[in-house]
Amino acid sequence: MELSERRQRILAAIVEQFIASGDPVGSKALCSLFEMQVSSATIRNEMAALAELGLIEQPHTSAGRVPSHLGYRYYVDHLMNCRALGARQRHALEESMAAHSGDPEQILEQAGELLAEITNCAAVFTTPADESAVIRKVDLLPMGERTIMLMLVTSNGVVRSRGCRLPRPVTAELIENFYAITEHTFLGQPVANINLVLIKRLTPLLGDDAALMQQILIALSELAWDAAKEEILLEGQTNLLHHRELGDNAYELLEFLGSGEPMSQLLATTPSGPLRVIIGRETPFHELENSSLIVARYTISGRRGGVLGIIGPTRIDYAKLIPNVEYLTKLVGRLLGEALGGSEGSGPGEP
- Residue pLDDT, tens place only, 182-237: 898 889 988 888 888 888 888 887 777 788 888 999 999 888 888 877 788 899 99
| Lowest-confidence pick of 33-37, 103-107, 151-155, 176-180 | 33-37
Whole-model pTM over 0.85: no
Calculated CA dihedral for residues 12, 18, 23, 28, nearest 10 degrees: -20
Please determine, for residue 59, whether its predicted confidence score (pLDDT) is greater than 90: no
DSSP at 86: P
Please determine, for residue 348, whether its predicted confidence score (pLDDT) is greater than 80: no
At residue 55, the pLDDT reads: 97
Give the tens place of pLDDT for each residue, 98-122.
887 777 778 999 999 999 999 999 9
At residue 309, the pLDDT reads: 94
In the chain, % of residues over pLDDT 70:
94
Average pLDDT over residues 9-26: 93
At residue 228, the pLDDT reads: 79
At residue 36, the pLDDT reads: 61
The answer to whether the Cα torsion of 90, 91, 97, 101 is positive or negative is positive
At residue 35, the pLDDT reads: 65
At residue 198, the pLDDT reads: 86
Choice between 39 and 135, residue whose per-residue pLDDT is larger: 135
DSSP, residue by residue, 215-282: HHHHHHHHHHHHHTS--EEEE-GGGGGG-GGGTTHHHHHHHHHHH-HHHHHHHHTPPSSS-EEEEGGG
At residue 32, the pLDDT reads: 79
